[in-house]
Structure 1
Amino acid sequence: MFQGKRVLVLGGSRGIGAAIVRRLANDGAKVIFTYAGSPEAAKTLADDTGTTAVHTDSADRDAVIDRVRESGPLDILVVNAGFAIFGDALEQDPDEVDRMLSVNVHAPYHASVEAARQMPEGGRIIVIGSVNGDRMPLPGMASYALSKSALQGMARGLARDFGPRGITINVVQPGPIDTDANPEDGPMRDLMHSFLAIKRHGRPEEVAGMVAWLAGPEAGFVTGAMHTIDGAFGA
Structure 2
Amino acid sequence: MGNKLAVITGASTGIGLELARIAAQEGYDLILVADEPQIRTVVDEFRKYDVAVDSVEADLSGVEGVDRLLSATAGRSIDILIANAGIGTGGPFLEQDVAAWRHSVDTNVTGTVYLLQKVLQDMVARGEGRVLVTGSIAGYIPGAFNAIYNATKSFINYFTEALRNELKDSDGVTITTLMPGATDTAFFARAGMLDTELGQDDDKADPAKVAQDGWSAMMDGKGHIVSGVSNKLQVAMSGIVPQSILAEMHRGMAELGSGKDEAL
Normalised TM-score (structure 1): 0.82
Q: 2:182 aligns with which of 154, 176, 179?
A: 176
Once the two structures are TM-superposed, the CA of residue 44 in structure 1 deviates from its matched residue by: 3.1
Whether 1:118 aligns to 2:122 is yes
Residue 196 (structure 1) aligns with:
none
Relative distance call for 1:231 and 1:177 in structure 2 (3 A) is: farther
Residue identity in the other structure for 1:205: A
Once the two structures are TM-superposed, the CA of residue 45 in structure 1 deviates from its matched residue by: 3.6
Residue 87 (structure 1) aligns with:
91
Residue 33 (structure 2) aligns with:
34
Give the RMSD, CA atoms, in angstroms: 2.5
Residue 208 (structure 1) aligns with:
211
Written as runs of structure 1 = structure 2, the 5 A alignment for 1:40-51 is 41-49=41-49, 50=51, 51=53
Aligned-partner Cα distance in 2 for 1:90–1:129: 25
User: For the Cα contact (< 8 Å) 2:109–2:156, is it kept in 1?
Assistant: yes
Whether 1:152 aligns to 2:157 is yes
Written as runs of structure 1 = structure 2, the 5 A alignment for 1:185-196 is 187-188=195-196, 193=201
Aligned length: 220
Aligned-partner Cα distance in 2 for 1:40–1:74: 21
1:156-182 per-position Cα deviation (integer Å, ceiling 9, x unaligned):
222133332232212111111112334
Once the two structures are TM-superposed, the CA of residue 91 in structure 1 deviates from its matched residue by: 1.8
User: For the Cα contact (< 8 Å) 2:11–2:39, is it kept in 1?
Assistant: no
Aligned-partner Cα distance in 1 for 2:12–2:198: 28
Aligned-partner Cα distance in 1 for 2:196–2:161: 32
Once the two structures are TM-superposed, the CA of residue 151 in structure 1 deviates from its matched residue by: 0.3
Once the two structures are TM-superposed, the CA of residue 110 in structure 1 deviates from its matched residue by: 0.8
Residue identity in the other structure for 1:57: D
Aligned-partner Cα distance in 1 for 2:180–2:95: 27
User: For the Cα contact (< 8 Å) 1:8–1:77, is it kept in 2?
Assistant: yes
User: For the Cα contact (< 8 Å) 2:175–2:218, is it kept in 1?
Assistant: no
Aligned-partner Cα distance in 1 for 2:72–2:39: 20
- Counting helix residues as a fraction of each chain, which structure ranks higher? 2
Pick which of 166-175 and 41-50 moved more.
41-50
The residue matched to 1:163 in structure 2 has which SS? Answer: coil
User: For the Cα contact (< 8 Å) 1:61–1:102, is it kept in 2?
Assistant: no
Q: 2:101 aligns with which of 86, 97, 102?
A: 97
Q: Which runs of 5+ in 1 are unaligned?
A: 194-198
Normalised TM-score (structure 2): 0.74
Aligned-partner Cα distance in 1 for 2:99–2:181: 26
Whether 1:164 aligns to 2:169 is yes
The residue matched to 1:83 in structure 2 has which SS? Answer: coil
1:97-122 per-position Cα deviation (integer Å, ceiling 9, x unaligned):
11101110112111111101222324
Once the two structures are TM-superposed, the CA of residue 229 in structure 1 deviates from its matched residue by: 1.4
Residue 130 (structure 1) aligns with:
136
User: For the Cα contact (< 8 Å) 2:56–2:72, is it kept in 1?
Assistant: no
What percent of counterpart residues are identical? Answer: 21
1:5-49 per-position Cα deviation (integer Å, ceiling 9, x unaligned):
321001211111110000111011122111221245424344355
Residue 9 (structure 2) aligns with:
10
Greater radius of gyration (CA): 2
Residue 19 (structure 2) aligns with:
20
